[in-house]
Homo-oligomer: A and B are copies of this chain.
């Protein structure tokens, strides 16, 4: 598949400097690009790669110094090259897929007769859509996805391999040393343009629904507990976990492996660093972190051992301060 630079600028805009008729057959990084490839620069850190790249054309910002831009045989200038690159990847993918005509519903998928799947939704191999579930237009369920009873998926969502929507939330009443199951009678509602990564799970609510609003992006192996609410356009990276009834605002990000405990509130615009644990509600937007710094093992052992006496160390400092003050009154 190839496109000319002129085709690309006609479709996506930007200012082309160089031969419009030049065909490009692939998108590539500056380092790996060959003379048939289109590349991009979105991070000033990699500017030095411009002089070495063999790319046929580079998408970049007009803010890159002119002497660097002029080393290129062709370039497309646009104020947000990363966004332009995203659109380019979509253009590539769309052309690739238009060359194929595939059944939208894979013959091996199981769709319950009482489920409602939009005619434009694409249901991959071995997917399971249970009774009363709904799947919106242009949504794509890849392989081995389960959409449980009465769960609703909006339009243009992508659910990757092995995603589980609507497993039972983890709810039990303790009784005489045993656990009595609380049947989970709620469901899951996903808005539009939600993407969920491979083998991630969103549990059904106990009574009310678990809700994921429009445009939320969830990576692989993420756990979303029952009755969680995630505000629009938030993003959760891989291996994150959100416990039951947590409420995450709009435009939040949760880093990889981070944990949000149950029944907490995160305001809009809260950003949790990777592997941090949120143990109380956060009311102000901003970046929050909490990770033990990694070190060579011997140093860590000494510091970790001391950490277990930290409170007592503080008392010793207090005592020193007190002694000093009482003996040296100023």
Contacts and interface: CB of A to CB of B under 8 A. Distances in A.
Q: Which of A128, A273, A289 has the most CB of B within 10 A?
A: A289
B201 A201 contact: no
Interface string A26-43: 011100100000000000
Nearest to A272: B294
Nearest to A311: B302
Contact of A238 (B170, B235, B290, B309): B170
Contact of A108 (B89, B110, B288): B110
Contacts of A177: 233, 251
A182 interface: yes
Contacts of A134: none
A315 to B, nearest CB: 9
A178 to B, nearest CB: 5
Contact of A307 (B167, B273, B278, B303): B303
A177 B220 CA distance: 22
Contacts of A206: 89
Given A158-B168, A233-B178, A306-B314, A292 B290 contact: yes
A308 B302 CA distance: 9
12 contacts: A27-B185, A28-B207, A32-B207, A126-B144, A181-B195, A198-B201, A239-B239, A256-B259, A272-B294, A278-B294, A289-B296, A291-B304
Given A89-B185, A167-B197, A221-B223, 14 more contacts: A27-B207, A162-B199, A170-B217, A198-B203, A257-B259, A259-B275, A273-B300, A276-B294, A288-B294, A288-B300, A290-B291, A307-B307, A313-B313, A313-B314
Contacts of A86: 171-173, 175, 180-183
A289 B293 contact: no
Interface residues of A, number: 118
Contacts of A27: 185, 207
Interface stretch (A3-11, A13-21, A64-72, A77-85): A77-85
A173 B85 contact: yes
A297 B293 contact: no
A323 B328 CA distance: 10
Interface in A200-238: 201, 203, 206-208, 215, 217, 219-221, 223, 225, 233, 235, 237-238
A125 interface: yes
B295 A300 contact: no
A173 B295 contact: no
A292 B84 CA distance: 39
A13 B148 CA distance: 32
A45 to B, nearest CB: 10
Contact of A85 (B160, B182, B199): B182
Given A83-B173, A207-B27, A89 B183 contact: yes
A128 B128 contact: no
Given A92-B185, A290-B294, A293-B308, A277 B279 contact: no
Contact of A164 (B90, B148, B162): B162
Contacts of A154: none
